[in-house]
């Protein structure tokens, strides 16, 4: 998504989070207001609400209120919260109202693994791209 219009905002970041969890988080917050998405992710971190596993949740037990499997991915939720705060800062720098931003794009891709960069480091990395437009 290219930011041709004045009402579009993009945040690109690389976070040390699980790519599989970020796919499920993206499906959860796409189409929602940025502030409401941050509140929902903070509830996942505090284990009040589970993250529904739309993908990659084949052998996960059912959670109360969901009807299907869910988990509480703390690190992934915190990483996406950081990216959403970056998105709000970009909107403020453009002179847009942060309270009216709607997430319309969430793309998560595998990043270069730490094994490729350093000899003995291990871990996960994910590229996250979040796009938002102003609510009409």
In a domain, 1, yes or no: no
Q: How far apart are CA 133 and CA 116, in angstroms?
A: 36
CATH of the domain at 75: 3.90.470.10
In a domain, 3, yes or no: no
Task: Provide the residue range defining the domain that includes 108.
Answer: 8-134
In a domain, 2, yes or no: no
Number of domains in the chain: 1
In a domain, 28, yes or no: yes
Q: How far apart are CA 80 and CA 57, in angstroms?
A: 19
Sheet strands (E) in the chain: 8-15, 51-52, 70-71, 101-110, 126-134
In a domain, 33, yes or no: yes
In a domain, 19, yes or no: yes
Query: Is the pLDDT assigned to residue 83 strictly greater than 90?
Result: yes
User: 10-54 pLDDT, tens per residue?
Assistant: 888 888 899 999 999 999 999 999 999 999 999 999 999 889 888
In a domain, 82, yes or no: yes
pTM assigned to the model:
0.85
User: 55-64 pLDDT, tens per residue?
Assistant: 887 778 777 7
């Amino acid at each position: 998504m290219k930011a041709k219009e004045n009402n579009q905002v993009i945040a690109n970041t690389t976070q040390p989070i699980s790519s599989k969890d970020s796919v499920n988080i993206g499906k959860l917050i796409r189409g929602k207001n940025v502030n409401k998405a941050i509140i929902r992710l903070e509830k996942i971190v505090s284990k009040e609400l589970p993250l529904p596993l739309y993908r990659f949740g084949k052998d996960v037990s059912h959670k109360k209120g969901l009807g299907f499997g869910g988990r509480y991915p703390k690190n992934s939720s915190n990483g996406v919260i950081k990216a959403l705060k970056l998105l709000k800062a970009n909107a403020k720098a453009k002179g847009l109202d942060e309270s009216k931003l709607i997430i319309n794009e969430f793309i998560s891709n595998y990043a270069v693994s730490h094994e490729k960069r350093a000899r003995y480091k291990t871990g996960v990395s994910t590229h996250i791209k979040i796009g938002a437009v102003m609510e009409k």
